Structure 1
Amino acid sequence: MDQNSARQMFENGAFLVVLDAPTGIEFGIDLDTWETGPLFKGLKMIPPGIHYIHYSVVNNDKQAGIQSGFLHSFVSKEVVVRRWCAETEQLYPSDHVSAEDVERIRMGIRDLDKGLGAYPLGSGPNDSYARWQKLTGYITPAMLAQLLPPNGEFSSATGSVYEDEEMEEAQKALHHATAEPPAALLDTTDRFNFTHSDIRRSFPANAPPEDIRKYSRDKSWLLKTLLSSRWHDNPQDLLGELQLAFVIIFVGQNFSGLEHWKFLMHLTLCCAEALEDRVLVSRLFVPLVRVLCVQLAECPQEFAASVLEQDNFIAVVLETLVLNVYECSADEMRTIMEKEIGGLRKLLEERFSWTLATGRQLQADADAEDGEYAPQVIHLD
């Protein structure tokens, strides 16, 4: 970066100042991580937008501990001040720093220049900032306030509504078995407040048997219901949650995001009826496949194999999408989606050596299962 560009970024970018910054910890922003030195005071030239600040304490064996951090929507020229607590090994939020200290730092920000690391801005489409923007383009500040714990902070150990539900079920079972009152849940302030619904009950209440059968497999009714009630008929909010869940898994190293990512994938990719809706195809399904391509392109093979392929999940939902598109009666929508799936198929083959079957192949397999290999029903007199 030339001097004029650097000067402009210093003037217009945001700053993160870390008081009492420690030496020798892993500290990073977005997709980049460094080891702090004795002069480290924070970061400068942060582009306006949503960024993830993260850090881990390193032990004597050079092994990093639990990762902690926070997501924050930085604005131009903003100065965010955090204080390091040596006792808890955490960055304390801004309410632990006086307004007088913040103003003093703001006025003297140039005096800290030598101790502020520059945000790693590159110039190519594959530099870390460009990749970060693609990973987070649908996430909004309102989403961070709604779905994250206070101050946007979380660690590798932060839980979610999914774990809370499991705990509630376990406590109910214990209560029925022992007649003891259920214990109180953990502090729910340290939880991701994900939008959630029972994916198995994807049909209307009091639905006739034929609708129960149809919408148990086709998630279109549940998708449209949640788009209206949870996302205010704005598919971009759903896409933002999908991106946020992935960032929490992939960059935040917190697997509470995995169940929500899988829920949203199941909810959207297992729709048949909704694929005939021109608005949903253009505003949801096409960008969703592109978001998925960006996410998979970031994944090392071992991450995809150990995390995203768990229980063969990706193969099942992608094959469901391919077959639904193949069977779609709306020719224009089918053509649009087959083009997007073609790009996804190429990525899977080149990056992971995965072969995503065509709709014709999947239909032939389905017909075979319904034919001579179909389960036989035996009536016992």
Structure 2
Amino acid sequence: MEMNQETALQLFEDGAFFILLDVPVGTEFGIDYNSWQVGEKFKGVKMIPEGVHFVSYNSVNKKHKEAAPKLGFFHFFHSKEVLVRRWDKQLETISEDVIEGEELANFESSLKELDRFLGPYPYDNYKKWKSLTNHITESLMNRLEPASGRISSATELVRDGEEKVSYTVGELPTSMKEAEGRLPKMVAVAGTEIRFVTLPTRAYPEGATPADITKYSMDKSFMLEELLSTHYAGNHMDLLGELQFAFVCFMVGQVFDAFEHWKKLVHLLCLCDEALGRHEGLYSAFISTMHFQLREIPEDFFVDIVSSHNFLTTTLQVFFYNLANCETASRQLKKRGCQFKDHLTKTFRWDFDAEQDDDAPVVVHLGET
């Protein structure tokens, strides 16, 4: 999406500003799917389109030329907003302190002087970013982001304060298993975890008949309904927003736990049967969401992470089968599913119609490891 003069003028007038002061030269800085090495004159980004954006950065050790774990945060930029942050030299990160009040007003009045130090938002990639985040609302973003306000590619760990020592100090372990058991138990630092929803663990309703237990052990529609009513009663599309949030955290923020959550949500949505007819809008949007996400995954990713466990092919195979055989799903949704299936077959050469043999990977049920 190239920026024409009219769009450029509109973004100049209505776009947001992110002013970032005192960033060391050589630091890797990014916004959304774009990243650069900071130069001497860099003081931020201008002409940012209104909406959800992801700011990321790596501090770089000049001596060893090694980058620290990637850090980042989401922010919903409003039209004409001016966000000002400073680099914390001691912690080698963007300070959590937000510039406000009179100091912020001074920056807002001096934007013309700062203009030459601000890089324009790379609008060429905005259409792609929008397609990957169109379901992430400001309220959902605030709900999911860690309490610390910062997302790290490396989990910050501390020793579990409630851990109990069950051996005598100085006593040698008698086995490797016992030695490993003596290692301190580590837990994530409170407030640093992304606040993803906890998926339901019960697959069928209370008092279910044996037939229903068998049915809902295969069809995850009951679990989906529980998730929607518990966490997304106001807006079912927020579930897709969380799916997108997890995808961005993994693909851009390099957070592996986010990939695991993304997998669980994809599993849940794909393993439903009854729900296909009840939630046409949700599933139509799910197909679009998956279409845009799979376009952005590097080809070697499937070999290294996904195809090694045949995760997507087995999961989507179940989804396409359920959709084709669902009596309550509309012809329009079925057609959309067929088009998506054909696209994936042509693009990745995946065969969704082949029968799995005894040695083929099976779809892992939610909650299993």
User: What TM-score, normalized by structure 2, do the two folds share?
Assistant: 0.83
The residue number in structure 1 matching 2:351 is 355
Report the alpha carbon displacement of residue 88 of structure 1 after superposing the two structures with TM.
1.4
Return the alpha-carbon distance in structure 1 between the equivalents of residues 309 and 31 of structure 2: 32
The residue number in structure 2 matching 1:102 is 104
Report the alpha carbon displacement of residue 308 of structure 1 after superposing the two structures with TM.
3.4
**Cα deviation per residue 1:242-289 (whole Å; 9 max; x = unaligned)?**
111111111111111112111111111101122232xx02x1111101
Moved more, 297-306 or 335-344: 335-344
SS at match of 1:73: strand
The residue number in structure 2 matching 1:132 is 129
Q: Does 1:68 align with 2:66?
A: no
Report the alpha carbon displacement of residue 7 of structure 1 after superposing the two structures with TM.
3.9
Report the alpha carbon displacement of residue 2 of structure 1 after superposing the two structures with TM.
5.8
The residue number in structure 2 matching 1:284 is 282
The residue number in structure 1 matching 2:10 is 8
Q: CA 1:310/1:145 → structure 2, altered by over 3 Å: closer, same or farther?
A: farther
Return the alpha-carbon distance in structure 1 between the equivalents of residues 95 and 300 of structure 2: 34
| Paired residues for 1:1-381 under 5 Å | 1=3, 5-60=7-62, 62-95=65-98, 97=99, 99-122=101-124, 128-150=125-147, 152-158=149-155, 185-199=187-201, 201-232=202-233, 234-277=235-278, 280-281=279-280, 283-309=281-307, 311-330=309-328, 333=329, 335-357=331-353
- 1:16/1:43 contact within 8 Å kept: yes
- 2:200/2:226 contact within 8 Å kept: no
Which structure shows the higher helix fraction? 1
Q: CA 1:47/1:174 → structure 2, altered by over 3 Å: closer, same or farther?
A: farther
Return the alpha-carbon distance in structure 1 between the equivalents of residues 250 and 44 of structure 2: 25
- 1:145/1:152 contact within 8 Å kept: no
Letter in 1 for 2:311: F
Return the alpha-carbon distance in structure 1 between the equivalents of residues 4 and 134 of structure 2: 27
Return the alpha-carbon distance in structure 2 between the equivalents of residues 334 and 355 of structure 1: 24
Letter in 2 for 1:8: Q
Report the alpha carbon displacement of residue 311 of structure 1 after superposing the two structures with TM.
2.2
Report the alpha carbon displacement of residue 145 of structure 1 after superposing the two structures with TM.
1.1
- 1:325/1:334 contact within 8 Å kept: no
Q: CA 1:318/1:173 → structure 2, altered by over 3 Å: closer, same or farther?
A: farther
Query: Alignment RMSD, CA only?
Result: 3.2
SS at match of 2:39: coil
Q: Which runs of 4+ in 1 moved over 4 A?
A: 1-5, 60-63, 170-175, 182-185
For structure 1, which runs of at least 5 residues remain unmatched after alignment? 123-127, 369-381
- 1:345/1:355 contact within 8 Å kept: no
Return the alpha-carbon distance in structure 2 between the equivalents of residues 212 and 194 of structure 1: 27
Letter in 1 for 2:257: S
Pairs aligned (count)? 343
- 1:269/1:321 contact within 8 Å kept: yes
SS at match of 1:55: strand
Q: CA 1:204/1:184 → structure 2, altered by over 3 Å: closer, same or farther?
A: farther
Letter in 1 for 2:352: L
- 1:70/1:151 contact within 8 Å kept: no
Letter in 2 for 1:248: C
User: What TM-score, normalized by structure 1, do the two folds share?
Assistant: 0.81
- 2:320/2:341 contact within 8 Å kept: no
The residue number in structure 2 matching 1:376 is none
SS at match of 2:203: coil
Letter in 2 for 1:87: Q
Q: CA 1:248/1:208 → structure 2, altered by over 3 Å: closer, same or farther?
A: same
Return the alpha-carbon distance in structure 2 between the equivalents of residues 152 and 298 of structure 1: 26
Report the alpha carbon displacement of residue 76 of structure 1 after superposing the two structures with TM.
0.6
**Cα deviation per residue 1:308-346 (whole Å; 9 max; x = unaligned)?**
33522212211111221232223xx26333322222223
The residue number in structure 2 matching 1:125 is none
**Cα deviation per residue 1:73-124 (whole Å; 9 max; x = unaligned)?**
00011011111012211001244x35332221111111111110000113xx
SS at match of 2:237: helix
- 2:16/2:82 contact within 8 Å kept: yes
